[in-house]
Amino acid sequence: MARYLARRILFTIPVLLGVATLVFSLIHLVPGDPVQSMLGEGVSPQDVAEMRTRLGLDRPLLVQYGTFLKGLASGDLGTSLRTNQPVARAIAERMPATFELALAAMAVAMAIALPLGVLAAVRARTATDVAATTLALVGISIPNFWLGPLLAIVFSVVLGWLPVSGRGTLAHLVLPAITLGAPLAAVLARMTRASVIEELNELYVLAARARGASRLRAIVRHAFRNSLIPIVTVIRLQFGAVLTGAVITETIFAWPGVGRLLIQSISFRDYPLVQGCILLIAGTYVSMNLLTDVLYGFLDPRIRYD
């Protein structure tokens, strides 16, 4: 297990370095002079020069890169141009909101998808299955930037049951969590169905039934349990979609998380903050992948020796 763990961590380091390099080079993609672009027209050349020095953009590229990596290693992501706050602190303040939303969305997704997927599998090739499968495909096709406003129209504007924006109470969390969780539920339901159908055809399920296990027990304790690995894989793959979806969902519902901070910093051309948000989201994603890989190693010993 230790060797497997070491190998996975070693594999992650160059990826993180690549991510950092790409994020570092982003600011150099700004057409023309990034400093002029940040400050806008009508600023004095002294102000431009001062800002260039402050951002370190007057130094050779390699020196800038070295400073950037050194800063990263010590958790220094630079300073926000708009608020003068350290980027790391600005992001840290918003992170709990994003995690709260992501976890709630995943909970919503699992609560809808797992029963729906198992039901479709158990009733495979019946009207129930077709209805569940079609519903899932419709769910995948509805973009969350449409679902969110629609839910807001129905539940906030028409019915007046839930608040349309902000964070604070559980009621504030409901619409954003459903908006973010619904597409994930659709993907997860499809995968659960396929995975459970596969397992239901295995001999051990038949053997369990032959030993006198009830149909429900054979499905839940045997087939469903063994179909969990591909389901965990999908949850892991969809975690990325949840992180990106959070950017959109937080913008729709004015949810004060990292995603909204990213979009706000883009509109203010606060490039250090943009870089910090991108880096943090990508870093979280890579870390989650590492974590689930390690989890697989525990769940399925064959993976460790592959």
Residue whose CB is less far from another protein, 210 or 266: 266
Identify the residue among 153, 207, 210, 229 touching another protein (CB under 8 A): 153
Residues in a beta bridge with 79: 86
Contact 101, 166 (CB under 8 A): no
For residue 244, state whether it binds another protein (rule: CB under 8 A). Answer: yes
Q: Site mask, another protein, residues 189-208, x = CB under 8 A?
A: -----x--x-----------
Window of 93-101, 151-159, 202-210, 212-220 that interacts with another protein by CB under 8 A: 151-159
Q: Site mask, another protein, residues 280-299, x = CB under 8 A?
A: -xx--xx-------------
Q: Site mask, another protein, residues 18-57, x = CB under 8 A?
A: xx--xx--xx-xxx--------------------------
Measured between alpha carbons, how far is 6 from 152 in angstroms, rounded to an integer? 47
Q: Which residues of 78-116 are buried (b: 16+ CB within 10 A; e: fewer)?
A: bbbbeeeebbbebbeebeebbebbbebbbebbbebbbeb
Nearest to 124 by CA among 201, 218, 204: 201
Size of the site for another protein (CB under 8 A): 50
For residue 141, state whether it binds another protein (rule: CB under 8 A). Answer: yes
Interior CA angle at 67 toward 66 and 70, to 5°? 85
Question: For 194, which DSSP code?
Answer: H
Residue whose CB is less far from another protein, 110 or 286: 286
| DSSP per residue, 65-120 | HHHHHHHHHTT---B-TTT--BHHHHHHHHHHHHHHHHHHHHHHHHHHHHHHHHHH
Using alpha carbons, list the distances in angstroms from residue 177 to 95, 114, 144, 298. 16, 17, 11, 30
| DSSP per residue, 42-72 | S--HHHHHHHHHHHTTTS-HHHHHHHHHHHH
Residue whose CB is less far from another protein, 26 or 57: 26
Minimum distance of another protein from residue 13's CB (angstroms): 11
Residue whose CB is less far from another protein, 104 or 200: 200
Window of 46-54, 76-84, 169-177, 259-267 that interacts with another protein by CB under 8 A: 259-267
For residue 142, state whether it binds another protein (rule: CB under 8 A). Answer: yes
Site of interaction with another protein (CB under 8 A): 14-16, 18-19, 22-23, 26-27, 29-31, 124, 137-138, 140-143, 145-146, 149-150, 152-153, 157, 164, 194, 197, 239-241, 243-245, 247-248, 251-252, 262-263, 266-267, 271, 274, 278, 281-282, 285-286
